[in-house]
Amino acid sequence: MVTIFFIIWTLGSVLLTLNVFKPLTNRRRSSVPAILLSYATGWLIGDLLPQWILLNTGILLLFSSLDIFSHPIGWTGLVLHLTGWCALILRLWVIFNSPPSLDKKMEQQLGNSWNNAESNFRPPKNIHEINWYSWLNPNIIFDDPRIEIIVDKEFHQENDLKLKLDIYRPRSSKKFLPAILQIHGGGWISGSKRQAALLMSHMAAQGWVCFSAVHRFSPEIVFPGHLIDIKRALNWIRKNAEKYGVDPEFVVVTGGSAGGHLASLMALTQNQPEFQPGFEKADTSIQGCVSLYGVYEFSEPFNNEKLYPAKAKLLEIVCGGTPKTKPDSFRKITPANWISSENPPFLLVQGDTDALISVNEAKNFFDGLKAQNSKNCAILNLPLVEHAFDIFPTLTAQCIVPIIERYLIMLHENFISSKGER
């Protein structure tokens, strides 16, 4: 019986390792639970590798105490496990060495504006610069003595509805600081304000004020309710700009997955009255957008050529129907339909082994932005990187997030420079 359990566990580990490099599910055929399982295991095992190795070492020791290594199958299994660990370590080594090439891609797309921008936080250049402690204990990022975190600040109340946000800000009392409005992911049906805490804590330590807002979830509401809630948060931020030391003229929006989609719409539907019921005259302009592994295609999952049943089922909940029954909702929810020559700058970031979102979604959306000659726009395709890579301060996040921070700083420096020229 011990041998059977050992074989099952070893084969399972091999499959989980392979899934990190190439998701084993197929978007055209796999069910929602299967796709989510593929994503979750690929993300957790790939990025939380130290914890995965420690867990498996403990299990190996347990099997060792049961005398599994007195049989050839035990040693064969051990070799397979060690080979899998080496492959996963090699993957992280590739990611660890990717920042210089990503920096070059940003320079090619943005030119001198990129070269002139500097962030206080940089990708680790050697193993000694890796923040191992935060990798093993993600909660440490909330204990930065340079920043203050204010949780559950209410920004909208209506009957029993209470929408809240968290605020990350420097402990210094400076005025007119640049601001970030962060939107969580979760498929429009769930999510947490604590997502992207690494980015927000880093930016707050560099003198930015960051707001992480929650919105109502489907099926309680359908689109555009989610977007309206986030615009309410932006309206509240500008109304309270003086209180929190924010420059109301400079607010950028960031988000991941469904939050990346909403961030894109926030940037593309500035001051659109139909998405601002009750506050139609409020300023909802955005000075830049960073969308990580965002969702950009909505009608395509229903088409035979790009069939994606799991995503189509989710979108039916979010939009309250299909493209045939709710054509107006699907038109409005699609970011590409709002692209114009007035777009603010965009940075799109997408992992090429994302189990949930095809890299082509970001590429097609970016092509639409460039067709309108949008300035200071860039796209990064990340090799061997999974969905939600930035949620925990893993090695992957430590290598990629500083590049995002530098882009945000570049946008603010360009904004300051343009004000001086007016």
* CA-angle at 344, arms to 342 and 347, nearest 5°: 140
pLDDT beyond 90 at 422: no
In this prediction, residue 420 carries a pLDDT of 66
Q: In whole angstroms, what is the distance from residue 261 CA to residue 307 CA? A: 20
Query: CB-based contacts of 279: which residues, under 8 Å, 6+ apart?
Result: 231, 232, 235
The tens digit of pLDDT for each residue in 99-128 reads 999 999 999 999 999 999 988 899 999 999
Q: Decide if 218 contacts 188 (C-beta within 8 A).
A: yes
Dihedral (Cα; 378, 223, 309, 182), 10-degree rounding: 40
Residue 419: what pLDDT? 76
Considering 47, 166, 229, 354, which one is annotated as catalytic?
354
pLDDT confidence of residue 253: 98
Contact 296, 289 (CB under 8 A): no
For residue 383, is pLDDT > 70? yes
Give the pLDDT confidence of 191-211 residue by residue, as tens digits.
999 999 999 999 999 999 999
Residue 239: the pLDDT is 97
Res 47: pLDDT = 95
Give the single-character DSSP code of 72. H
pLDDT at 421: 54
C-alpha–C-alpha distance, residues 412 and 176, integer Å: 12
- Examine the residue annotation and report whether 81 is marked as an active-site residue of this protein: no
Q: What is the pLDDT of residues 334-376, one digit of tens each?
A: 999 999 999 999 999 999 999 999 999 999 999 999 998 888 9
**pLDDT > 90 in the chain, percent:** 87
- CATH number (3.40.50.800, 3.40.50.1820, 3.30.460.80, 3.40.47.10) of 98-297+334-421 reads 3.40.50.1820
The pLDDT value given to residue 375: 87
Neighbours of 421 (CB within 10 A): 5
In degrees rounded to 5, what are phi and psi of residue 3?
-60, -40
Phi-psi region of 176 (alpha: psi -120 to 50; beta: other; left: phi over 0): left
Q: What local confidence, expressed as pLDDT, does residue 309 receive?
A: 93
Of the listed 81, 156, 226, 387, which one is catalytic? 387
**Tokens (6 digits) for 204:** 């707050």
Mean pLDDT calculated for residue range 171-183: 91
- pLDDT, greater one: 174 or 394: 394
- Which residues are paired to 213 by β-bridges? 165, 183
Rounded alpha-carbon distances, angstroms, from residue 405 to 234, 288, 387: 20, 13, 19
pLDDT of 166 reads 98
pLDDT digits (tens, 9 = 90+) for 135-171: 989 888 899 999 999 999 999 998 888 999 999 999 9
184 is catalytic: no
203 within 8 A of 144, measured Cβ to Cβ: no
Nearest 10 degrees: Cα torsion 361, 363, 368, 372: 150
The string of pLDDT tens digits covering residues 56-87 is 999 999 999 988 888 899 999 999 999 999 99
Tokens of residue 346, six digits:
């965009």
Between 227 and 32, whose confidence is greater? 227
Q: Which of 13, 30, 257, 264 is catalytic?
A: 257
Pairing of strands 147-158, 177-183: unpaired
Active-site residue flag, 257: yes
- Cβ atoms 197, 144 nearer than 8 A: no
- Angle among Cα 342, 348, 349 to the nearest 5 degrees reads 170
